[in-house]
């Protein structure tokens, strides 16, 4: 799967550049970052350590939740469409655009929050970790839910920044609450992992909570700052209008004639008539 993502992206990038479209270095770097996150989460020693250590397992989940954001920052969806032969692009682009229009920050927030809560319920978490197929399905649901949410936030950053920012703050509090509870709990949440960790189970569980809490919180706050800046930035049409006429109210007032204040009216001498 990871190799397929790289091949699709590179093919789309090559075809885009062949048509004269520039491939921004920042975009490519963002994709490389997301690709690296997936590689570390799924095929590095971290994946094996996740079977024995709760903190490693939480690090894996954090990478799976953040990787889609970096992939989308690299315009993976656009490159995926460009990688397909022209005659088939409409078949792929239409449902992708339809899904993007239907995915709002609010609905996708509920989706990703529900996925995180469900897969971290102790009665679900440990059985899923011990079954390869269920564990793979867990990873897919986290990736898809996170991808839909990050895509909705990025898509609404300009048109409705308040909504995007509101769900980011809700996610910050939601994830922070789970991480804090896990960090400061003195009882094992996952007995199987506590048993494998031995006498170090509490340290391992506290580290797992910090991993869930801090890195995700930093990313969310950074993305929130970007959404705020993007929402405050004027659109291209507004920028053109402002450049053409930076003082519209002043010119409008001059067109109507000199304005007369209430004070001037009161100070005006009475007519001799």
- SS3 letters across 42-66: HHCHHHHHCCCCHHHHHHHHHHHHH
The contacts found for 193-198 with CB under 8 angstroms, 24 or more apart, are 193/52, 193/53, 193/54, 193/57, 193/126, 194/54, 196/52, 196/53, 197/52, 197/53, 197/54
What per-residue confidence (pLDDT) applies to 252?
44
What per-residue confidence (pLDDT) applies to 259?
42
Radius of gyration of the chain from its Cα atoms, rounded to whole angstroms: 26
The domain limits of the chain are 2-232
What per-residue confidence (pLDDT) applies to 243?
55
**Residues of the chain with pLDDT > 90: what percent?**
56
For residue range 151-165, what is the model confidence (pLDDT) as tens digits? 999 999 988 999 999
Q: Are 205 and 182 in contact (CB under 8 A)?
A: yes
Query: Average pLDDT of the chain?
Result: 84
What per-residue confidence (pLDDT) applies to 251?
46
For residue range 244-264, what is the model confidence (pLDDT) as tens digits? 555 544 444 444 444 444 344
Residues in the chain: 273
Query: What is the distance between the alpha carbons of residues 57 and 193, in angstroms, rounded to a whole number?
Result: 10
For residue range 188-203, what is the model confidence (pLDDT) as tens digits? 999 999 999 898 999 9
* Ranges 17-26, 55-64, 243-252: which has the least confidence: 243-252
Q: Are 174 and 140 in contact (CB under 8 A)?
A: no
3-state SS, residue 37 = helix
For residue range 28-37, what is the model confidence (pLDDT) as tens digits? 999 999 999 9
């Amino acid at each position: 799967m990871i190799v397929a993502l790289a091949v699709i992206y590179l093919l789309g990038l090559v075809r885009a550049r062949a048509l004269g479209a520039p491939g921004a270095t920042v975009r490519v770097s963002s994709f490389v970052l997301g690709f690296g996150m997936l590689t570390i989460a799924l095929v590095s020693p971290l994946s094996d350590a996740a079977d024995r250590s709760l903190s490693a397992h939480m690090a894996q989940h954090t990478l799976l939740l953040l990787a889609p954001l970096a992939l989308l920052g690299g315009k993976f969806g656009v490159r995926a469409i460009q990688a397909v032969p022209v005659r088939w692009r409409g078949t792929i682009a239409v449902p992708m655009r339809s899904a993007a229009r239907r995915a709002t920050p609010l609905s996708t927030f509920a989706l990703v929050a529900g996925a995180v809560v469900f897969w971290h319920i102790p009665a679900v978490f440990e059985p899923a970790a011990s079954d390869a197929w269920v564990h793979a399905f867990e990873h897919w649901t986290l990736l898809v839910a996170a991808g839909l949410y990050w895509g909705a936030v990025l898509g609404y950053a300009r048109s409705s920044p308040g909504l995007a920012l509101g769900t980011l703050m809700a996610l910050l509090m939601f994830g922070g609450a789970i991480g804090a509870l896990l960090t400061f709990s003195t009882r094992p949440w996952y007995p199987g992992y506590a048993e494998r960790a031995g006498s170090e189970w509490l340290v391992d569980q506290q580290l797992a909570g910090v991993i869930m809490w801090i890195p995700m919180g930093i990313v969310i706050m950074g993305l929130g700052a970007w959404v705020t800046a993007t929402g405050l930035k004027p659109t291209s049409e507004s920028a053109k209008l402002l450049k053409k006429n930076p003082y519209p109210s002043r010119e409008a007032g001059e067109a109507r004639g000199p304005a007369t204040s209430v004070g001037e009216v009161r100070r005006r001498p009475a007519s001799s008539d």
